[in-house]
Amino acid sequence: MLYVTRRETFNSAHRLFNLDWTDDKNLEVYGPCSNKNWHGHNYNLFVTVKGEMNPDTGFVVNMKLLSRIIHENVIVHVDHKNLNLDVDFLKGVIPTSENMCVAIWKMLEAPINILGIQLHSVKIQETEKNYAEYLG
Ligand code: NI
Task: Confirm whether 101 is a catalytic residue.
Answer: no
Using alpha carbons, list the distances in angstroms from residue 122 to 19, 27, 47, 71, 125: 27, 28, 5, 14, 10
pTM of the model: 0.96
Length of the chain: 136
Please tell me the CATH superfamily of domain 2-134, with its number: 6-pyruvoyl tetrahydropterin synthase/QueD (3.30.479.10)
Residue pair 75/10 in contact (Cβ under 8 Å)? The answer is: yes
Ligand 1 centroid to Cα of residue 33, in Å, is 4
Ligand 1 centroid to Cα of residue 14, in Å, is 6
pLDDT along the chain (136 residues), means of 10: 98 97 96 94 98 96 97 98 98 97 98 97 96 97
Task: Confirm whether 120 is a catalytic residue.
Answer: no
The residue from 14, 33, 41, 101 that is catalytic is 33
Domain range summary for the chain, segments of one domain joined by +: 2-134
